[in-house]
Structure 1
Amino acid sequence: MPTYDASTLLPLCAGLTLLGLIGSWFAWRRRGLAAGTRGVAWSLLPVSLYMTGLLKVLWEVVRSVVSWAAHLIFSPTVWAGVALFGVSVVLYVVSGVARGRSPKEKAQKEKAQKKPASPAGQLTTTGPAPASATTAKAAKPSKGKAKQQESSEFDEIEDILKRHGIN
């Protein structure tokens, strides 16, 4: 890639600005003030970049990115690194799946399922089972009953609001 040369880029930037200003004049005549003004704004950029020194910075950035991309594409070492990264990701995912299927967890789940529920008040290894544990399970209302209770509560609230004149 060619190097940055200020003496070559000044006429190039001035020419781009001049062409842009001519195009902006035609845009102003055909499409109006807004299009012409926008064209002038874009036309002044090349000379302003040159005068502030940002054109040199932009040139170096583009040159560095192109060099990096060429190195990335044509280097076997880089592609070996990309392959190792892929293998690493696959191994990490496989380890997560294997972790969920560990034999210790299966054995613990089977023991928990085989363990019989102790009746209320009976002594166990952790102490007596609370009597409220079995009655709480039996006293749970079904979903249909819960919805009926909620709707009846809302009906009561609506009646109270109507009595007070609030709709």
Structure 2
Amino acid sequence: MLTSTVCAAVSAAGLGIAALTAYRKRFLAATRIAAFALIPIGLVMTGVIDWVTSIVFKPTVWAGFGVLALSAGLFAISRLVERRRGIAGRKERRAAAGSGAPAVAPAASAPSLGPGRKAPKSTPAPSAGSAPKDDFSDIEAILKKHGI
């Protein structure tokens, strides 16, 4: 009941301001002000205001919003933990798979192989004094060096 009275007073004040604006020959602005002023009384007449006040002033409704917020928080936390665990799980799977598989780049430096692994012996690079067999021998050497 109190909210209906407040909305009616706001609408009346808005219509008064619209009338003063129209008196000053600003009809377009007065029309907009009147349109905004009629919204509160329209909401009261349709029952929306009673519905909103019944939501706002009931503790059970606020408890329901709290439960929904808790649910959303738990969901977000579970997704965060799942992502972190997924990354750690991928690293463990890579390490397990990499222990039995040959290295992709056998001549790679020791830091890229990880701790506890030694670089395998690689084939010696051709000396600068030797004559190339064909034009692409130096490119092949570079590709072999990088394991490609």
Structure 1 length-normalised TM: 0.45
| Higher normalized contact order (CA 8 Å, seq sep 6+, divided by chain length) | 2
The structure carrying a bigger helix percent of its residues is: 1
Structure 2 length-normalised TM: 0.50
